Amino acid sequence: MGERSLSESLERCLAKVTEVIRGHNSFVLLEHEKPDGDCVGSGLAMVLALQSMGKQVILVSHDSHPAIYDFLPGRRFYTRAAYLEPGDFSPEVAIFLDCTDPERAGSALKLAAGRLWVNIDHHVSNTCFGDAQLVDPNASATGEIVYDLLACLGVEVTKDIATCIYVAIVTDTGGFRYQNTTGDCLRLAAVLLEKGVTAWGIAEQVFETRSVSSVLLLGHALSTLKLYRGGKVAAVTVTREMMKASGAALEETEGIIGYPRSVAGVEVALFLREFEDGKGFHVSFRSKTKVDVAGVAVSLGGGGHPRAAGALVEGTIEEATAKAMAALERVPWTDS
């Protein structure tokens, strides 16, 4: 058994999935589109485990694994869905990892057609699809559930498997910094460390590896930091020129908004990214506790969640900022 104490119904699910795995010989593991550390780590851990049981297995995803995970073991059993035709490999079982619904697998889904489906996930929004399900929203990451499963299967958790599961957990909890960080996941991390995982080495690989272009873009963006509303709103801007000068890709703008959000006293952070045609800005909003930025974004024709939202705003940087600030004035601030 794993380290956690599980509910009876989860124990039953675990037993059923164990039975399915023991009773079959060939498996395709499916990740969701744009695989993250939890997907990649869970997938590679399962690959190594099934290999050690003498099973045939491949791991498939719609998109490539991010390069920061290239150090993980087991990668030779991984491929992109585009490189495979359904006839190339005919597994008996398809295991969906970290996918709320089958469609999350994107083009990899074609490899699951006609197989027995196993659904392993920790998202509360999981649609409970599949012939056998192992869905636990209390798990910090799908990797935590994979650990329970390997314990049930009697698979030895080697240093390589432990490393994959550690990556799954440490990335999905933002380095044990997000709300899904639980005592159970820290205790599992401790067990994994004692199996030889190098916490500092993994942290350096997954959290402290940047591209030149992303560092330059971050520099240009943070240099534009401006405060509004007595320091309760902070905004940074990325122009087309900055994107060009830094050579950054669009996805490298992710995470920049965390810096204005982190300024002491700031309640709402804005990140303005210029349209490619220069006619306006994509404005992202993040709030801490006092403002529902979904409402702000909706009033600008956009949408999102109470703490993270966005809208497209036409005009110059001054005009777009003024429109965003005006929208922020129209919603209630619970402290004012």
Q: Please tell me whether residue 225 binds a second copy under the rule CB under 8 A.
A: yes
In the numeric block, which tokens belong to residue 99?
Answer: 């996918």
Tally the C-alpha atoms within 13 A of residue 148's C-alpha that lie toward its C-beta.
29
By CB under 8 A, residue 211 contacts a second copy: yes
Q: Which of 263, 308, 325, 331 binds a second copy (CB under 8 A)?
A: 263
Residue 122 beta carbon to a second copy: minimum distance, rounded to whole angstroms: 17
Q: Tokens 């597994």 identify what position?
A: 91
Q: Does 254 bind a second copy (CB under 8 A)?
A: no
CA nearest neighbour of 90 among 20, 22, 28:
28
Instruction: Pick the closest to residue 134 from 122, 147, 151 (CA basis).
Output: 122
Closer CB to a second copy, 222 or 326, in the complex: 222
Element of type H or E holding 250:
none
Candidates 71, 89, 228, 259; binder of a second copy (CB under 8 A) is 259
Residue (135 or 141) nearer to a second copy, CB: 141
Contact status: 194 vs a second copy (CB under 8 A)? yes
Contact between 249 and a second copy by CB under 8 A: the answer reads no
Whole-angstrom Cα distance, residue 27 to residue 249? 35
181 binds a second copy (CB under 8 A): yes
Least separation in angstroms between residue 140's CB and a second copy is 11
Question: Taking CB under 8 A as the rule, does residue 291 contact a second copy?
Answer: no
159 binds a second copy (CB under 8 A): no
251-260 — which CB contacts under 8 Å span 24+ positions? 252/211, 252/213, 252/214, 252/217, 253/217, 253/221, 256/217, 256/218, 256/221, 256/222, 257/284, 257/286, 258/286, 259/218, 259/221, 259/222, 259/225, 260/225, 260/234, 260/235, 260/236
Which residue from 15, 186, 322, 326 is in contact with a second copy, where contact means CB under 8 A?
Answer: 186
323 forms part of the interface with a second copy (CB under 8 A): no
* Nearest residue (CB) to a second copy, 258 versus 303: 258
| Identity of residue 70 | D
Q: Which stretch binds a second copy (CB under 8 A): 57-65, 94-102, 262-270, 321-329?
A: 262-270
What is the Cα Rg of the chain in Å? 22
Q: Kindly list the residues in this chain that would bind a second copy in the complex (CB under 8 A).
A: 67, 174-179, 181-184, 186-187, 189-191, 193-194, 199-200, 203-204, 207-212, 215-216, 218-225, 227, 231, 234, 258-264
